[in-house]
Amino acid sequence: MSGNNNKLSVLISGGGTGGHIFPALSIANEIKRRVPQANILFVGAEGRMEMERVPAAGYEIKGLPVVGFDRKRLWRNVKVLYQLKKSMTMARTILEQFQPNVAVGVGGYASGPMLRECQKHDIPTLLQEQNSFAGVANKLLAKKAKCICVAYEGMERYFPAEKIVLTGNPVRRTLLECEATPEDARKAFDLDPNKRTILIVGGSLGARTINDSIIAGLRTIGKHDDVQVIWQSGRIYDERCREALISSQVTNIKQMPFISNMDLAYRAADLVISRAGASSISELQLLGKASLLVPSPNVAEDHQTKNAMALVTRNAALMIPDSDAGFKLVDVMLSTIKEERILQMLSENVSKMALRDSAEVIVDKVLQIAK
């Protein structure tokens, strides 16, 4: 079972968070750029973010009812196993109808059953692992994969060394193609073009600890009128953050639920406060941004701390554990933004870690395997 009517057909599976979806879309866009007539089908998990984001980017997606294992409440996994079995059956039907030449797995719930099914039917598979700590789905699929594209060195701990290619993570092209000056970018947010600027982002869904820390420190930030802040709070926390900001009467902070023009937000910033998800780190590296990272503790195997430490050990970022953010984040952020020497060092060192042209290198491999 492979390939329909000599046209290149590529199946891309995975998702769950922006960190899986953005690289998947970058790979799809690069395939389309090179092979405009290629058929591309995404397979995601029902009810997850990819079911909205992928169609918005112009691609077809099919959803599987797969969900993650509940490690705390094991009795709930009876339903999980039923949904996994149902997902395997649906994956087989998708394969029969679409007949891909190659399948790409980017991690996340759906990639497990979908790529497993592809491997059973001898369809060549390529895995893309964004983190410094390999995800469960990718570890299970590695043995039969043709190629595994990674963003960090030392991944032989998880995968067969001969299959690993160090490619980095693909990021949104718009971020790299921004031509605005920092001054113009600040003006776009109605900010003072000449003031030091801090960008606070908690990932695509927001980050409670970061938001709580900023709310607690609003008046402190307000006293530093030589500094200004762009604060993406995430949609779920929007109302609470907005009300806190209004009642504090602090004027040097621009808060919003979601930043659609991230290229300008990054360009405006001298310092970025962020979680340590794989795609955020790749963006910081490629854009050479000084950052203060607050790894999320709510992720499998605490992989965000491992991602952050890969930078911290090279003097390429600062880090505050999630549990310390409440009493440290605002003070450290305000003292760091005034230290030109530190900002310069972090920026130069993080830039050296960047792996460029990731999407191009990955697609080279995809096309090679498809043949």
Amino acid at 271: L
pLDDT of residue 289: 97
| Greater model confidence, 311 or 66 | 311
pLDDT of residue 67: 80
pLDDT bin (cut points 50, 70, 90) of residue 203 is low
Integer Cα distance of 54 and 324 in angstroms: 36
Cα-Cα end-to-end distance for the chain: 14
Torsional sign, CA 146, 151, 152, 157: negative
Integer Cα distance of 62 and 144 in angstroms: 24
Contact 134, 156 (CB under 8 A): no
Instruction: Give, for 228, the enclosing helix (H) or strand (E).
Output: strand 227-232
pLDDT of residue 218: 97
pLDDT of residue 83: 86
Contact 244, 215 (CB under 8 A): yes
Of 7-21, 60-74, 229-243, the range with the lowest mean pLDDT is 60-74
Q: How many CB atoms lie within 10 A of CB 327?
A: 12
| Furthest CA-CA distance within the chain | 66
Return the half-sphere exposure (C-beta side, CA atoms, 13 A cut-off) of residue 326. 4
pLDDT of residue 284: 96
State the average pLDDT over residues 34-55: 94
Does residue 353 sit in helix, strand or coil? coil
Amino acid at 299: V
pLDDT of residue 79: 82
State the average pLDDT over residues 115-128: 97
Contact 195, 228 (CB under 8 A): yes
> How many residues belong to the chain?
371
Mean pLDDT taken over the chain: 92
pLDDT bin (cut points 50, 70, 90) of residue 57 is very high
pLDDT of residue 345: 98
Amino acid at 28: A
Integer Cα distance of 158 and 171 in angstroms: 24
Residue 221: CB partners within 8 Å, gap ≥ 6? 214, 227, 229, 250, 252, 253, 330, 334
Of 16-30, 41-55, 106-120, 257-271, the range with the lowest mean pLDDT is 16-30
